[in-house]
Each structure stands twice: as C-alpha cells, then as structure tokens.
Amino acid sequence: MWVAKAGMIPFFIVHYGMFTTVHGVFVLTLFGGMHERGFPGPTEFLHAVQGAGIWPAALALAASHGVSFAFNYIGAGEYRTAELAKLMTRPYGRVMVLHVVILGGGVLVQALGSPVFALALLVVLKTGLDLVAHAREHAAASAGGPTPSYPRTTDPAG
C-alpha cells in the first residue's frame, strides 16, 4: 500500500500545483502587478506579502496548518485510518470555490473597475466555507460519527 501512496505524492503535487499556479496567475492578473512586473518568483512573493503588511496573517495561516498537521494527523494518529482516495480529493472542493470566486471576481472587477469587491467576495466565501466545515466537523465528532473528508483545523477536544 505504501507504494501506491508514494506514487500518488508526485502526481498530487503536479496536478494540484497546476491548479494553484493557474489560480495565482488569474489573481495576479485581476488584482494587478503581473502585467507590470512579470511573473513573480518566491522572493517577489515574500516581498509582496511583507510590503502589503500581511505577513502576520500569512505566518499565522502557515502555523495553524502546521500545528493541525502535527497534532491531528500525526499526534492523534489520523494517518493510521486516512484513506488515500479521500486525502487526494479533500482540497478540490476548495478549488471549485476558487473557480467561482475568480470568475465572479473577474466580472466584478470589469464591471466596477475595482478589485476591492472581488477581494471582499473571496474573503466572505472563504470564511463561510471554513465556518461550515468547522460546524460539520464538530457535529460529526460530537455524534460519534466519522470525521468529514476535509482537514481538521481545530483541536478535536475543543
């Protein structure tokens, strides 16, 4: 079984990486910058995050995912019962949300001439999705049922 898992790792990295890269290009094109400065690399991305003053939020986001991975997936032993097919499909629901937001955001940017409304749409949908996922996860945990097929973002005891 570990051979199948090992083979899926590079496939997932390439496949999901293509989605995130294309989404990044769309976002950079819609919200400005790419046509002015060219395609950014990691250094330019880090400078942009720092320059925009959002590095504390970016750091907190990365830390929360790292803590969740360490405590839930490794510490609580979720890896023992994790099913490869479910792990592979978890992020794609959010890809669909991103598709809708980017397309809707693009329409708003074109119609209103400002990226602010598209950004607000992204924040509202992302927050709403996270709240629904959080509520479902805790409802399933309190009922003794299986954990839904998306990553846990909080302490299971909380």
Write the pLDDT tens digit of every residue in 39-71.
667 787 787 778 777 788 778 878 888 888 898
CA dist 106 and 29 (Å) reads 10
Alpha helices for the chain (secondary structure H): 2-31, 34-37, 42-51, 55-68, 78-81, 84-89, 92-112, 116-142
pTM of the model: 0.57
| Residue 146 banded pLDDT, cuts 50, 70, 90 | low
| Contact call for residues 26 and 102 (beta carbons, < 8 A) | yes
123's tokens: 């924040």
| Residue 155 banded pLDDT, cuts 50, 70, 90 | very low
